[in-house]
Structure 1
Amino acid sequence: MKIHHLRSATFVIESGEHFILIDPMLGEKGSLPPFSMVRFKLERNPTVDLPDNAERLLSKVTHALITHSQTFGFKPLQHSDHLDPAGERFLIEKNIPVITPLKDKSYLEKYGITVSHGIDDWQTLDFLDGQITAIPAQHGHGWIHKMMANGSGFFLALPNEPSIYISGDTVLTENVKRALTELKPDITVVAAGQAQMDVGQPLLMPTDEVMEFIKLSPGQVIANHMEALNHCPVDRPTLRQSLQAQNLSEKVFIPSDGDVLEFA
């Protein structure tokens, strides 16, 4: 298995002839509005371009997973850092089959995206001769997660590959802990940027929860969702310092945009 990190939460899982695109934010730098106007630096998103290898890699995509997209079915509130207009166009033009939380299925289909499966919390489906399981995600602490519309993480168990748990946009919950301790993924992916809006508590795990997530993970961890959005204050150097303080550096990969990680 190879993990091709593109940007923020967008990456591609390569397994044999299959290339699985996760949460496609594919637009040019600055093509989206700021997500924070006051709390953090006012800057349009994404704050960086896609890496040079993105076009070549995207030409190989065969499937896609979208952890979350809609809020109350209102297009202006779509989670564009996981599915932006460029990502939509790509999925539609290439007719890429998508798996997404069941509650998002009809919303995506309304805009012309091919949804092969809507998957419910803790449901397991057959996928690419293996299985995929949806893990509930809570998109924030406090009241704000109800406004953000929670999505799902995904646990993938593919033939002759290490298993992988993509936790998605979530804080550390009992469901997340259950996925780590019961499913025992070989690889876990954690969104570590600690995103926050101008009001409310963090939308993603704060650093202490990221550290606990890493300690609970049975195998290697990939940290993403950093240095591409103006509402994510935790950057790669800050995370590295936290890992060093907890003696966790050897367990965690922090890929740069365009990096490829290989797992046996």
Structure 2
Amino acid sequence: MKIEQIRNATLRIQYAGKHFLVDPFLGDKGSYPPFPNSARQDQNNPLSELPIPKEQLVEGIDALIITHLHLDHYDEAAKEFLPKHLPVFSQNEEDAQVLRNDGFTNVTVLGEDTSFEGISLIKTQGEHGRGEILKMAGLVCGVVFQHEDEKTLYVAGDTVWYAGVKEEIDLHQPEVIVLNAGDNQFLEGGSLVMGKEDVLQTHKAAPQATLIASHMEAVNHWALSREDLKQFAAEQGFSNQLHIPQDGEAFEF
């Protein structure tokens, strides 16, 4: 298994001999206005360039996984650029229909027993915030990768820590967990994804697992920096279990 942090929640994952691109956010730096009612209104999104050219990013990709359709997970650049013949996995039929309308010809809705080339892709639950903000944030999912020749991987997606994440950990016993951990927020409504305390709770639920912090410092409404998370993990004694990659950095397991 090889996991490469691209930018924001965009990952390139090599698993059991297949290559997946997760949540493609492919626009040039500053292509989109800042998310409203949030920090850094003077900075357009994304805040950084892709670490590698789009053409290189999609070389050898076997399938796409799009956990939900928010701009910073699937943007106009991705819609226009990605080859439409690639298999795409989405969270529900509503998202699948949007992707089909965008021209993708092979779209599958993730379920509890989805399979791709012998790899199990299991949809997991998530909550994109807490309380009233959930009505605006909408539905999201994560995905568990399983194969007899690989460690179990859990890509949690845009979720905060809550009972559902613990249920997925208890059920699947992942050895590697990717968390969207930028603590992204609007001025009202609280966190939309995991902050440092959520990451700590995930570690406590899966103390033997390796955690990878993604979705950091890439869009204007981030609230937790890589450096602050690194310091917090050291203070709490789990820094050896946590990787906080820079864009373009990869890890093999």
TM-score by length of 2: 0.93
- Pairing 1:42-121 to 2, within 5 Å after superposition: 42-52=42-52, 55-69=55-69, 79-91=70-82, 93-102=83-92, 103-120=94-111
| Alignment of 1:152 onto 2:141 | yes
Q: Which amino acid aligns with 1:105?
A: A
Percent sequence identity is: 34
Secondary structure at the residue paired with 2:216? Answer: coil
Query: Distance in 2 between the 1:198 and 1:88 partners?
Result: 30
SS of alignment partner, residue 112 of structure 1: coil
Matched-pair contact (CA < 8 Å) for 1:29–1:45 = yes
Q: Report the AA paired with residue 184 of structure 2.
A: A
**Aligned-partner Cα distance in 1 for 2:11–2:223:** 20
- In the alignment, the residues of structure 1 paired with residue 38 and residue 240 of structure 2 have an alpha-carbon distance, to the nearest angstrom, of 36
Q: Which secondary structure state, in structure 1, belongs to the residue aligned with residue 165 of structure 2?
A: helix
Alignment of 1:97-246 (within 5 A): 97-102=87-92, 103-120=94-111, 123-217=112-206, 218-246=208-236
Letter in 2 for 1:29: K
CA contact (8 A) 2:90 2:110 kept: yes
Secondary structure at 2:178 match in 1: strand
Q: Which residue of 2 aligns with 1:35?
A: 35
Output one character per residue of 1:13-67: Cα deviation in whole Å (capped at 9) or x when no partner.
1135421000000111001110145544531000000003654232221101011
| Superposition CA RMSD, Å | 1.6
The list of structure 1 runs, each at least 4 consecutive aligned residues, that deviate by more than 6 angstroms after superposition, is none
How many residues matched?
A: 251
* CA distance in 2 between partners of 1:95 and 1:14 (Å): 19
Letter of the structure 1 residue corresponding to residue 217 of structure 2: E
Q: Which residue of 2 aligns with 1:72?
A: none
Amino acid at match of 1:198: L
Q: 1:247 maps to what in 2?
A: 237
Gapped runs of 5+ residues in structure 2?
none
1:11–1:27 CA distance, 2 compared to 1 (3 A): same
Do residues 259 (structure 1) and 253 (structure 2) align? no
- Tell me what 2:21 maps to: 21
- Compute the TM-score of the two structures, normalised by the length of structure 1: 0.90
Query: CA separation in 1, counterparts of 2:113 and 2:224?
Result: 33
